[in-house]
Structure 1
Amino acid sequence: MIETFEMKPNFTYLGKKYDLDPRTIKKYYQGYNGKATTRAKPSMLDEYKDIIKEKLSYKGSKVSSLYFFLKNEKEYGGSYSTLTYYIRKHPDMKSNTKNESHVRFETKPGEQLQFDWVENIKMINKYGVEFEFNIFSTELSYSRMHHFNYSKYKTREDVLNNLVGTFKFYGGVTETVLTDNMSSIVNTNDKKFCKEFKSFAKDMGIKEKKCKVRHPYTKGKVEVRNKFMKWLIPYNYEFETEADIVEIIKKINIEVNNRINNTTGMKPILLYEKEKEYLTPLPNNQILEQYMNLSIQVKVQNTMLINYKGNQYSVPKKYINKTLKVKEFDNKLYIYDNTELIISHDIVANKKINYKEQHYIEGLQSSLKDKNINEIEELAKKNLELLDNLTTNRKKENNDK
């Protein structure tokens, strides 16, 4: 009314009438809206805002995978709940994935091992190079103790090799193993395990069981854990080599086994201390080695190198883009073209790139046709020395970090 009739307000009169301080009435009359209910306080996540938005935009990315990445690679010291609250406050940040439910069932200690492939994973390094690989994923059903293993291929030999490595990791074997209709070990026609896998199961002293494909009520635990492989997504454009991927997977494996499980209420690593007492001892080394030494398929790169367990080994130039087989025995790597032995390399743990001098010279000859053999041999010797120093120094820098 005062504003409508352009009257001059009597704040003293209004104060007495409404039992308020005249100065308070005057303040509100002049436009005061009261104290702010919230403060514009900066968040510790503001510095990561662009990273969060970018990583959540990747298909399949989850907040849990982003939290793991920020904590391990960007030194984020806040909590998971702080991150989720920050994302809720910013509508432009949204995880590009859908939640799925999986039903669990329980087993006795040492009773069952579930295994599966996380297939056809693609990652891009910081130079734009795409890497495609698989992860052999296993879990002890009682403790939820998990083991992830990088694998280039998914052949029958890869399955048997990975299972032996898994049993060695756990320190024993379970009563049964459970998987789905894995094409490499299950016959297409009758949907039964192939004779090679049955023979393997007999040698290991286990019973093989098969469930329906993607039915969580029978194989739910390992499929739930496979979701943790989405933690790889934020590492796109952050790594350099295949060896870096292997190390990232190891980090994730440690984290998964040290997270409290929602069903058991305990960390898998702690329950595993109880379950390992119920595991059957491993077969003798002679049986294990016959499966560990199965050949593995590898593809030769344009650099005349093949990848094996994070290291690279050279072959002659004529095998570029061909698929070869490798076997490891007595700390040596043997490379075959079908049944023909091409070359062998000594396996040196801290040597990432292993060129035979004659292979390197052959590669230089095809690109430096204006130089004579003496010049090429001298250049090869210098370059190989520089390459050895580079990989050695990089390893030292990583250790210092």
Structure 2
Amino acid sequence: MERNIIGDLLILKQMNIKPNFSELARIYDMDRHTVAKYWREGGIKKVERKPRKSILDKYSDEITRLFEKPGVHKRAAYEYLLDRYGEDNIGTYNNFKYYTWKRDMKPQKTVKPHVRYETRPGQQLQVDWKENLRMTTIYGEVIEFNLMTSTLGYSREHIFVYTKGKTTEDFLRCIIDTLYRLGGTPEHILTDNMTAVVSITNGSKRKHQKIRAFEKDSGMKIRLCKTRSPQTKGKDESANRFISWLNAYDGEIENEEELIHLIEKINRRVNNTINQTTNMPPHVLFEKEKEYLRPLPNKVMLDSYVDNVITQIVPPTLLVTYNGSGYSVPTKFINKRVKLVPIENKLYVYFNTELVTVHQINKNKFNYKHDHYQEALHHTICNKDIDIDAIAEENLKLLERIGK
């Protein structure tokens, strides 16, 4: 019956004839107001649909909060939620994009043009600074730092290196760290006219003596970008987008050590994310490109360019020594060679390119981290009836008194 009257109304509307609502109501045994309503709505009965629920509904406020943070785009917000809650609770990135588009949820955006420049495998490593970054801990402490971002031109494999300074020594240390992580060297490095590499006098550019010496010793040229040239650092500058993923964690981290591990985690995830140009994750193409990289230069020569780096073998006490004070590392590094890198008032301990721990430099003789000491006791005391945590707490307090 309803379908018949709708059909009649559509025919009358096409013929531009106004119907007699009362007559139609009598014929179809309906209220004339209902017939008039069908007519006003074009002969189609409106169906009220309830909005479909989404798994993202319970995160709506959090998404809004993330989008309000400067520099957080959709991918950065998604990666943050994925890291915290997992894909089973968040869904795919396409689902996230549709959800935010449907609800007109938009992050603050900045658009920068990038010029493409393709390179052969193993030919070029593009390098840039991400400067003057700031992250706030959950305790309100502000951590100021820089990142060296490097990208292989062919595979788009990215390397992010945390650094406090931007001096020539910092530049070389970060480059050497990057080369160790890549396991080889490209034909050349491409960078801009950063003060760590060149000095400019009366418009004339000249590389620093230490940079020229490094080029000679490593056999690898460091080329400078030319203004308004297609040979730009576009691929590495696009890598800076991924650094914005950090913005979502502002106010969420506990300390600098957690920040550095977060950067390493994001670095791994970036290299396993499909690149829009190659349609493949960088790490997949890197498996091919690394075959074209040249062998690493002599290790002794490379390490000679890194100032203030101390190499030690970790003793059974877990304490490596710096300026007469001992600083602990985890048990698994006993008898392994680690590097101590003092920067400002912090001591960074590395095993190869892995950050092991960060200590505040002080004059205390013993500087054990609670988890390092507790782990060691678990390896030496096998009696489950003994409260190892209590013993660790008591011994650490005693060592603290002795070491002052």
TM over 0.5: yes
Which of the residues 18, 43, 63 maps onto 2:74? 63
Measure, in 2, the Cα distance between the counterparts of 1:347 and 1:355: 16
Measure, in 1, the Cα distance between the counterparts of 2:245 and 2:168: 27
Contact persistence 1:137–1:147 (CA under 8 A): yes
SS of aligned partner of 1:187: strand
Q: Which position in structure 2 is the counterpart of 1:290?
A: 304
For residues 201-232 of structure 1, the C-alpha deviation after alignment (integer angstroms, 9 at most, x for no partner) is 11111122100479775110000111111111
Measure, in 1, the Cα distance between the counterparts of 2:191 and 2:243: 18
SS of aligned partner of 2:150: strand
Contact persistence 1:239–1:245 (CA under 8 A): yes
Give the deviation of 1:41 after TM superposition: 2.0
SS of aligned partner of 1:256: helix
Contact persistence 1:333–1:344 (CA under 8 A): yes
Which of the residues 98, 109, 113 maps onto 2:125? 113
Measure, in 1, the Cα distance between the counterparts of 2:114 and 2:323: 46
* Amino acid in the other structure paired with 1:170: L
Contact persistence 2:56–2:90 (CA under 8 A): no
Correspondence 1:231-250 to 2 at 5 A: 231-250=245-264
Tell me whether 1:208 sits opposite 2:222 in the alignment: yes
Q: Which position in structure 2 is the counterpart of 1:167?
A: 179
Correspondence 1:242-391 to 2 at 5 A: 242-291=256-305, 293-295=306-308, 331=338, 333=340, 353=359, 358=364, 385=396
Give the deviation of 1:44 after TM superposition: 1.4
SS of aligned partner of 1:115: strand
Structure 1 stretch displaced more, 33-42 or 193-202: 33-42
Q: Which position in structure 1 is the counterpart of 2:112?
A: 100
* Amino acid in the other structure paired with 1:267: P
Unaligned runs of 5+ in 2: 1-19, 310-318, 325-335, 368-391
Cα pair distance change 1:384/1:22, threshold 3 Å: farther
Unaligned runs of 5+ in 1: 1-9, 297-310, 317-328, 362-380, 390-401
Give the deviation of 1:287 after TM superposition: 1.1
Which of the residues 77, 82, 90 maps onto 1:77? 90
SS of aligned partner of 2:247: helix
Percent identical among aligned pairs is 36
Measure, in 2, the Cα distance between the counterparts of 1:249 and 1:344: 18
Give the deviation of 1:174 after TM superposition: 0.7
Q: CA RMSD in A?
A: 3.9
Contact persistence 1:313–1:345 (CA under 8 A): no
Give the deviation of 1:196 after TM superposition: 0.8
For residues 219-273 of structure 1, the C-alpha deviation after alignment (integer angstroms, 9 at most, x for no partner) is 1000011111111111011110101111111121111111111211211111111
For residues 58-99 of structure 1, the C-alpha deviation after alignment (integer angstroms, 9 at most, x for no partner) is 1121111001101111334312222222222334x3211222
Q: Which position in structure 2 is the counterpart of 1:22?
A: 29
Tell me whether 1:51 sits opposite 2:62 in the alignment: yes
Cα pair distance change 1:255/1:215, threshold 3 Å: farther
Cα pair distance change 1:289/1:330, threshold 3 Å: farther
SS of aligned partner of 1:192: strand
Correspondence 1:24-39 to 2 at 5 A: 27-28=34-35, 34-36=45-47, 38-39=49-50
Contact persistence 1:315–1:359 (CA under 8 A): no
Cα pair distance change 1:28/1:107, threshold 3 Å: same
Measure, in 1, the Cα distance between the counterparts of 2:29 and 2:218: 90
Cα pair distance change 1:78/1:355, threshold 3 Å: same
Give the deviation of 1:313 after TM superposition: 9.6
Would you say how many aligned residue pairs link Structure 1 and Structure 2? 327
Q: TM-score, normalising length from structure 2?
A: 0.70
